[in-house]
Structure formats: structure tokens, C-alpha cells
Chain A
Amino acid sequence: MKNVLEIKKLQKQFADHNAVNGIDFVVEEGKFFSILGPSGCGKTTLLRMIAGFLEPSSGSILIRDEEMIGIAPNNRPVNLVFQNLALFPMMNVEENIAFGLRRKKLSKEIISKKVNDILEKVHLKGYGKKEVTQLSGGQRQRVAIARSLVLEPSILLLDEPLGALDLKLRETMKIELKKLQEEFGTTFIYITHDQSEALVMSDKVAVMNNGSFEQIDTPKNLYANPKTSFVAGFVGESNIFLGKHLKNDAVVLNNSLELKVTCIEEISEKCKVYIRPEAIILMPEANLEDLNRFTLDIKNILFDGSNTKLLANIHNTQEEIQVSLPQNRQFSHIKLGDTIEAAVHFNDCKTYRA
């Protein structure tokens, strides 16, 4: 697959800090690529450099093998969907979408045909004459995307466009965005701090922290095999334990419980063990191997529908742990104060430097 975007040693220095700290990556043609990171990690700076609103301090940005440094935003084959969408309030839907086409000096007939085609594609047929203020949040979203996609950019950049929507609509728009991307086949680069948005929609996700990428991977790999403790903590939920590393991949937590773990990094002594709530097996069969076995004292049941968890203490220790309940209601009989046998596989105890 050809690379639509290639970024080499990209760096952006502001007065007092490096917002983007020497990043290298490529994005393949037609993919949904997300950049996931906490606020202040430099993801917006990176996006604005690709769009052309910021000049990098050093490094290069190649779009379809053409160098973009020094080219103004209006001459780059990329378009940006803004966080607040930035639909022009003094124009109606049709004029908003036609704005970019008019700048290309296309004929009236072609413009109106393209506008109508794209309105149909984003399921807003007949909305052309409406004022943008008359639209719902989801419709405005689609107009903003249509306004950019009608220009047939090489890459569509999206700057947390779902941030302003309420939870229900955000869930719907996630799926809709993914579908739109597949229909159009345009490369999307999507930045967000919401891991669920990134995991659901993307072909690949780059996790960004402090101006650098921690890991670029498929959503599945990112979740299953986080390469750094930051990724393990940021993507998905984890129980995190501080411990002391003994030899042979064994860790002792607070001088009380010993676990067999999988070390992801070179570890000297202090370490952090990450265990996903769903990795814990309740009432394991006696013949299973490679398990750390312990007893749980149930302290609380955190009911949240399909996402209900147990809050428990590991017996005879101070360690608190959250455990996901299996979907089959096999353990719905568990009550407060119960004691229950549990275990976790060695491979599910991922251990990083502290």
C-alpha cells in the first residue's frame, strides 16, 4: 500500500518547551489513522503543522511524496475539520459546502452538482438551503465533513470533532464517521483524547505523550500488548500495582503477595504491574496452569450495566483490585463481604519500569 503521508523527524519548539519532539511516521492511503493522547501532549500542534497553520522548527512533511514545508494551508491537498466545526454562520449549508469549490473557480453547474452529490452522500439531501443554525449537532458535523470532502483532499484531518456532542450522539457519530470514511476511501487523520473513539474507528492508532509517539499499532494490539506503561495506563482500564522485582519474572507487592509476571521492559528493581479488570478469572479450575492464584474479599459491587465491576481486596494484603464480571451472569450471586477464589494468567500481568 502506498503512503499518503510521510513525516520525518518533525519537531516544533515553542519558547519554553518542545511541543512535538522529533516524530517519524507514515500513514497508508485510505486508512483511518488516529492520534490519541491526553490534552497538552502536542497532538493539536502536530495536526496544525500537517494542515499548514504552524511551521515546524525542523523535519519534513511529505504528502504523496511532495514536500509541504513552506506551502500555505490554502495550497495544501489536506483539509481540516475543526473542533468547533467553524461552519460559516452567515452562509447556508449549500454556500458553506460550495465555499471551497468557488475558490477553485469551477463553473456554477459543476459546483451545484458536486454540492448536491455530497449532500446526498452524507445523508443531508434537501438540506442545502437551510441555515447552519437550524441544524442539529450531528447534521452540522456532517456538513463540516462534506465541506472538506467535496474538495477531494488527499487527507482529511479531524480535530476532536465529536468533543462538543453529547454522549449518545457521540456513539452514533463514531459509527457514522467510520462508515463515511469507508465510503469515501479518503485517508482520515483523527486526533482525540477519547480512547474509545480511537479504538472503535481506527485502522491504526498512534498514542502520543509529551510530544512523542509511545506506540503506533492496530487498536487490538494496542490494547493487548501495550509497549510502554503510559500506553498500558492510557488505553483501556488497568489495575496498577507497585512492586519489587525479584529474579525470574517474579514480583512481590508490598512484601506480601508474590506474582509471576511478564516483563515488557528491562527492569532493575522497582516496577509497576498492570492487570486489566477482565483478565481476572473468578473461581478458576484447579488444573489450569501458569496462573497467579489468590483470594478476594468483596468490598463493593460497582453496578454499571454490562460494565459492572467488583471492588475487592486481595486477601491478607492491602491491595485493592477491580474485577470485571463476565457477561453470562454466572457470578451474579456474589454479595458484599463474600470471599472468592481468583486468578490471573502470567501473561496478563504486564510489568514496566516504575
Chain B
Amino acid sequence: MTAKHIGLNMKNATSLGFYVFLVPIILWLGLLIVIPQIELLIMSLRFENDDEIMVWSFENYKEFFNNDIYWLTFLRTAMYAIFVTFLTFIITFPIAFYITKIVNKRYSAFLIILLLLPFWVSELVRVYGWTIILRESGVINYFLQGMGLTTSGIELLYNDASMIMGLVYTSMLFMVVPLISSLEGMDDSYIEAAHDLGASKLTIFFKIVIPYSASGIVSGSIVVFMLTLGNYLTPNLMGGKNSLWFTEQIYNEFIASLNWNQGAAFGFLLLALSSFIIWLGLKLTKQNLSKALS
């Protein structure tokens, strides 16, 4: 046995290990993601013409642009998803900063667990929790009436504000975790050095803290944006009939109208939209995807 033989065996061993781990991922991606997507893509391009014959056509996509309600809902969903992402960032950043930089290190693990705790309960239960608090006969109205501020109950649910609140609430965890991990990596001496070089607290925040945690902000934002854009439960339960979330249109096509071809086309439009907005976001903030997700 020469050294050359051993070397060859080692190489074989690593490549075997590589394939052993790669195959399940390929199978998973292929069988559960790629093949169904191809099936949906084909479906979205099939259209039943007046003679009730399935033909290849862009008719399903044309329908989207011809009907105001569809593309207005689409636009509204995109705008609100961006807004929710931004709002989530504004709310969670101080929390992440407090946990990593201000509070005594001994308590930060405890505080992170407190943050995670509500997420051990399913999203459905948490959203119903909100409806119990906000509805006409709910907790807030009970206190308002008790204090004599109102006689009849006020409906706090089923409006844009309650829907956005619900979406922010369900997304917070996915923003706060990457923020905490990127802020944890930031040495306090950067802040002190900037302070020493004459920067005010505001300047330190915008010139040092934000740029340093940019990768965490971007990865958190991507996750929150995609989850919000594709969320069905929260807009439906907290926004009610008025929520006009694009996922509901897709659901309606598949389940209510049983028009799978139309639903598939909408699904692809949503995929294209989220990809485009993320690409645009990365371009505008001069980040790159692999760096943000690493």
C-alpha cells in the first residue's frame, strides 16, 4: 500500500460521503419542489377554449392584467408586505440591540427564550388569541365599556391596521433572530471607537451599527417579506373579507372556482413578484444573497 493508494481511497471516501448527503436533498427538491412546480407551470399555460378543449395559451396570465381586482390586489399585497417587513424591522431592531448590547449578558439568553416562547404555539392559535382580544365582544372592548368610554362595542378586527399588526406579530421572530446573531458578532469597541472619533449616538447608529448588521437585516427582511407575501392565515383571520391578500385569490381559484389553471398562473405571478422585489432590494442595498444568508 503506497501513499498514493491511501490518497486515492481518501478521495473516494469523501466523494462517497458527499453523494450520500446530496442525494436526499436532490430527491427532496426534485420530487417535492421542482416537479410540482413544472406541473403547475404547464397547468398555468393550459387554457380551456370555447370548444371546451385544453390548448396552450397565455390566456390565464392575460386574465390577471385584464381584471382590475386581480392586479390591484397583487399590488396591494406587495406594498403591504414591504410595509410589514419595514415595520417589523423598526420594532425588532431596538429589541435585538437591547438584548445583545445593553442588558447584562447573563440575562440575554433568558430574554431570547422569552421571545421564542410564544412561537412554540401554532400560528393559528396565536392569531385566534388576537381575535379574542380585538373582537367586538373581546377583551379590549370589555375594558373600554367597563370604563364607560363606549357603550356599544367597537369592531377592532377586520381592518388593514389589525391585519398588519397580526402580520408583524407573526413575523417578528424571523427578523429578531438574524438581527441578534449579527449584532452579537459586533464588538462593542466599534461603537466606542466611533464615539471616540467624534460621532454622536445617531451617527454611530446609522454609520456603524446599521452597516455592520446589514447582512442580518437583509436576511431577516427576505424571510419576513416572503413569509408575509405568502401568508394566508393571518390576512384571512384578522383582515377578514376586506383583507384582499393575493394568496386568497389563489386559494379562491383552486378551491372555490376549481380553476386550477388560473390558480397556477397566479401562483407563478406571486413567485415572480417576490423574486423580483428581493432582487431589487438586494440591488438597492448593495448586498448579495449568499453573503446575506451565510
Name B197's contact: one of A52, A89, A90, A103 (CB within 8 Å). Answer: A103
Q: Does B280 contact A (CB under 8 A)?
A: no
Are A82 and B211 touching (Cβ within 8 A)? no
A74 pairs with B195, CB closer than 8 A? yes
**CA A3 to CA B197, docked complex, whole Å:** 23
Does B282 have its Cβ within 8 Å of any Cβ on chain A?
Answer: no
B203 cross-chain contacts in A, Cβ below 8 A: 103
Question: Which one of B187, B189, B197, B199 contacts A148 once the chains associate, using CB atoms below 8 Å?
Answer: B197
Is residue B196 contacting chain A, with contact meaning CB distance below 8 A?
A: yes
| Chain A min CB distance to B208 (Å) | 7
- Give every chain B residue within 8 A of A53 (Cβ-Cβ): 192, 195-196
Cβ proximity bits B168-194 to A, threshold 8 Å, 1 near / 0 not? 000000000000000000010110111
- The answer, yes or no, to whether B200 is at the interface (CB within 8 Å) is yes
Chain B residues near A100: list those with CB within 8 A. 197-198
Once the chains bind, are B197 and A99 in contact (CB under 8 Å)? yes
A310 and B233 CA atoms in complex are apart in Å by: 83
Given contacts A88-B208, A89-B212, A90-B212, whether A74 and B200 have CB atoms under 8 Å apart is yes
Residues of B within 8 A of A52 (CB): 196
Cα-based distance from A83 to B189 in the complex (angstroms): 9
A86 CB within 8 Å of chain B: yes
Give the bracket for the number of chain A residues in contact with chain B.
20 to 34
Residue among B187, B190, B193, B194 with max Cβ neighbours from chain A (10 Å): B193
Closest Cβ neighbor of B215 among chain A residues: A90
Question: Does A60 lie at the interface of the complex (its beta carbon under 8 Å from any beta carbon of B)?
Answer: no
Question: Which listed residue (B196, B199, B207, B211) contacts A80, Cβ 8 A?
Answer: B196
Categorize the interface residue count of chain B. 10 to 19
CA distance A90 to B209 in the complex (A): 10
- A residues touching B (Cβ–Cβ < 8 Å)? 51-53, 72-75, 79-80, 82-84, 86, 88-90, 99-100, 103-104, 147-148, 151
- What residues on A are CB-neighbors of B45 within 8 Å? none
Q: Is the CB of B197 within 8 A of A82?
A: no
Instruction: Let me know if B193 and A82 touch, CB within 8 A.
Output: yes
Q: Are A90 and B211 in contact (CB under 8 A)?
A: yes
Which B residues lie within 8 Å of A99 (CB)?
Answer: 194, 197, 199, 207
What is the CA–CA distance of A311 and B207 in the complex, to the nearest angstrom? 58
Verify A82–B198 contact, CB threshold 8 A.
no
Question: Which of B193, B195, B197, B208 has the largest count of A CB atoms less than 10 A from its CB?
Answer: B197
Complex CA gap A53/B194 in Å reads 12
The interface residues of chain A lying within 8 Å CB-to-CB of B196 are 51-53, 73-74, 79-80, 148
Q: Which 6 A-B pairs have the closest CB atoms?
A: A100-B197, A86-B193, A103-B198, A86-B189, A90-B211, A74-B198
